[in-house]
Structure 1
Amino acid sequence: MAFVAAILPAVLLADLAHAQSGKPGVEKLYVLNCGEGVAGDISRWSPGVNEGKSMDFVDNCYLIKHSQGWFLWDTGIPDAVAAMPNGLAPADPKAVTWHRPKTLAAQLDQLGVKPSDIKAMAISHTHPDHIGNVEMFPNAMLYVQKSEYEWPGANNAPRFKPEHPVTELEGDRDIFGDGSLTILSTPGHTPGHQSLLVKLPHTGPVILTGDAVHFKSNWENRGVPVNNFSKDLTLASMQKISDTLTKEKAQLWINHDKAQRDTLKMSPEFYD
């Protein structure tokens, strides 16, 4: 018995060490269809280029299974738009008319994930095509830059319900403390825009752009949309993303780029 008692602490320590040195981190990433639309004139996103040219847009959300729980990046166009036969038309005809061919709720249900299973979430920024379903997850911790959270909405209204749990960030944040999921502060499109670096065990590192860039030629030309909050901050954030891509040897996944999205595996398939 004395021998057993003597080895028990060593066994417990070994188990703890194994748990800590196991394989924490991102296990799966699902690309969800969170909207499809048509932009009336894409030169608004890249001034001087593609004047008067229309383009198909997509809107992605990303569901991430981490060893510590489910994490959702962006929530897309409101699910209610799925019931609108003509879609959601913008006030500006040059902008995007959005449709919702699949609801976020249905795609989560297909994966057997309930909204209450989402313990944490983040939005790239507070434009309507990215926060349309935030309140489907009223108890999920919301990670957002402080400058974005405090940015007044229409008629100075708050952009989120004040009772929604929130963590206000001031810069980059390693969400789970293991380097596998890092929010990158990339202001410019809006005051507190952010992007996401995801390190997948087999696929490798991926940067999800939010709206730091809108489509491939926009990225290549370093085009700054006319309605962005700050041109200088936008260009600095594009450079930060470029530097991170080089450092991490990462892929760049551009949120609204349909040509690229059409090459990706969509949920229920996943990346690991």
Structure 2
Amino acid sequence: MTRKFKLALAMAALALSAQAAFAQKPGVERLYIMNCGEGVAGDIGRWSPGVNEGKPMDFVDTCYLIKHSQGWFLWDTGIADAVAAMPNGLVPADPKAVTWRRPKTLASQLEQIGVKPADVKVMGVSHTHPDHIGNVEMFPQARLYVQKVEYDWPGANNEPRFKPSHPVELLAGDKDVFGDGSITILSTPGHTPGHQSLMVRLPKTGVVVLSGDAVHFKDNWDNRRVPSMNANKDQSAASMQKIADTLDKEKAQLWINHDKAQRDTQKMSPEFYN
């Protein structure tokens, strides 16, 4: 075998190796922000005790679909799609709470980008309030990541919060979902006993932290206000500090789920972040 032939073989092997590495490159490829509800809170004083008492405020509800090299991951599922058919929206018994509407269904937004519910193999929810788990059973085959303390937390009339048949992985803290550091569930209790947030590493956008309801809008974040309905005030404060430390360490952005002013500046599906 001549030296020239050996060199050619070595270069060909190197090229194939590079192609394989590129094809198998782990990580997040894109992130879609989906409209999962819009509403008006009758009195935002419950979210910011002692401030803005009696004032109404627009809310949004957001879901995030993430394309990872190992498959589709959905974070939060929003208000139930069935609300789209309600002329007056989902009206709460308490006029101070949020009246939710569903201008776009989650199903239609998935269809718009060519994703079937069956394509979603893994999902997580920040917590088990209805505006975050409304469409969980649209994905009966998807493995659901939830903190064990949240899963065991009794629902209305002590009923379970998910169908017992739904595949679930119960967590006791942070979780690196795909084992490559690209999508990490962060345990951030306080709003509910097992609330969690999500850290996502995007190749161009950088690191973003999806708040869930660890914080509801920017003014509360800036002033570290804890809503009166939260399960635990001290845990809530500690979780906000954990998020702040994460933002600082990772040079990350905080995307606040219910903050309309922020979401109005963001690209919505079918556009995406990469």
Q: Shorter-chain TM-score: which interval?
A: over 0.9
Correspondence for 2:30: 28
Correspondence for 2:133: 131
Instruction: Look up the SS of the partner of 1:266 in the other structure.
Output: coil
**Which ranges of structure 2 fall in alignment gaps of 5 or more residues?**
none
1:115 alignment partner AA: P
Instruction: Look up the SS of the partner of 1:56 in the other structure.
Output: strand
1:54 alignment partner AA: P
Instruction: Look up the SS of the partner of 2:61 in the other structure.
Output: strand
Correspondence for 2:94: 92
Correspondence for 1:264: 266
Correspondence for 2:61: 59
1:39 alignment partner AA: A
Correspondence for 2:218: 216
Q: Deviations over 1:106-133 (max 9, x none)?
A: 0000000000000000000000000000
Correspondence for 2:237: 235
Q: Report the CA distance between 1:53 and its aligned residue.
A: 1.0
Instruction: Look up the SS of the partner of 2:109 in the other structure.
Output: helix
Q: Report the CA distance between 1:93 and its aligned residue.
A: 1.1
- Of 148, 169, 175 in structure 1, the residue corresponding to residue 150 of structure 2 is 148
Give the Cα separation in 2 of the matches to 1:21 and 1:246: 32
**Same amino acid, percent of matched pairs:** 77
Correspondence for 1:178: 180
Q: Deviations over 1:65-120 (max 9, x none)?
A: 00000000000000000000100011221110000000000000000000000000
1:242 alignment partner AA: A
1:64 alignment partner AA: I
Instruction: Look up the SS of the partner of 2:270 in the other structure.
Output: coil
Q: Report the CA distance between 1:22 and its aligned residue.
A: 4.9
Correspondence for 2:204: 202
Instruction: Look up the SS of the partner of 2:122 in the other structure.
Output: strand
Q: Deviations over 1:208-252 (max 9, x none)?
A: 000000001111111111111000000000000000000000000
Q: Report the CA distance between 1:16 and its aligned residue.
A: 9.8
Give the Cα separation in 1 of the matches to 2:38 and 2:127: 18
**Which ranges of structure 1 fall in alignment gaps of 5 or more residues?**
none
Counting matched residue pairs gives 267
Give the Cα separation in 1 of the matches to 2:64 and 2:182: 15
- Of 101, 105, 108 in structure 2, the residue corresponding to residue 106 of structure 1 is 108
Deviating beyond 3 angstroms after TM superposition, the runs of 4 or more aligned structure 1 residues are 14-22
**CA-atom RMSD in angstroms:** 2.1
Q: Report the CA distance between 1:43 and its aligned residue.
A: 1.0
Correspondence for 1:119: 121
Q: Report the CA distance between 1:266 and its aligned residue.
A: 0.2
Instruction: Report the TM-score when normalising by structure 1.
Output: 0.94
2:60 alignment partner AA: V
Give the Cα separation in 2 of the matches to 1:171 and 1:16: 36
Give the Cα separation in 2 of the matches to 1:19 and 1:269: 27
